[in-house]
Every structure is written in structure tokens, then in C-alpha cells.
Amino acid sequence: MFNRNKEKPEAKCDVKYISGHSMYPKEKDTQALFFADRLAIKNPGIVIPYASITKLGSQEDRHITKTRVFCTGIIPGLFRKKIYRYTVIDYNDGFMDQSVVLDFHRDAEDIQKGLYQNMIDSRQPQQLKG
């Protein structure tokens, strides 16, 4: 599906698919494959061409984790919440607008910069022609 002509990805990383795509509501651990022209999320099998990305951003969520409560005690553990930073990719899949939420873990900042640059680069030829 996303490995056209046995093309190898330029990079890959472990990612957690949180939600967003209309066909795939469940969260799951998977891999993100970065190609020259697209991002592929291995399972559930979502392919996002960089040129189709309409917005790229991040979202924060705060959680109280069991480990934090256990390690710091009940009272401090309940008040200190761990911050999770998710990457939100809005794009059009050719049929409708989708908004995919991914957790790139500690690599979120670097990956988000790279995605943004790929998004800009995918539009360069269009801008030069027009």
C-alpha cells in the first residue's frame, strides 16, 4: 500500500497513533515511515502526502500516572501531572479533511520540524510554476 516499488523509507520511528482518522478510531502503537513525498503510518495503513497537509501543530494533554503517584506519594502525585505532547496533522485525503493525532514521544519536536520542512518543500514546485 505505501511501499511503492519496494521503495525504502528515508527514516522510520516508533509512534503511537492516538486517533483522528475517520476509519481508525482506536489508538495503537505502530511505526511512522518517512518517504521523500509522504508520511506513512504503518498500522492502520494511513498515507499522508506532504502536499496534502493543510495544518501541522501540537497539542498538550496532562495525565496523572500511577507511577508518579507511587513514586512521589499520594498527595504530591495527584497534583503533579505528566505532560504529553501530541502532533496533530490536518490533511485532505482526497475525499474529506482528516485530522490525525500522533505521539512521537521524545522525538516530537525534531519530527514536527522535519514534517513542516517537507510540507514546505512539497509546495515549492507549485509556487515556482504559478
45-87 tens-digit pLDDT: 999 999 999 999 888 765 444 554 445 555 554 555 566 788 9
Does 2.30.29.30 match the CATH number of domain 4-129? Answer: yes
Within a 13 Å sphere around the CA of 94, how many CA atoms are in the beta-carbon half? Answer: 5
- Residue 96 CA to residue 79 CA, distance in Å, equals 41
Structural domain boundaries of the chain? Answer: 4-129
Backbone angles phi, psi at 2, to 5 degrees: -115, 5
Mean pLDDT estimate for the chain: 80
| Stretch among 14-18, 21-25, 76-80, 82-86 having the lowest mean pLDDT | 76-80
Burial class of residue 119, CB neighbours in 10 A (0-12, 13-18, 19+): buried
* Burial class of 83 by CB neighbour count within 10 A (0 to 12, 13 to 18, 19+): exposed
Q: Residue 29 — pLDDT band, cuts 50, 70, 90?
A: very high
- pLDDT for the residue numbered 125: 58
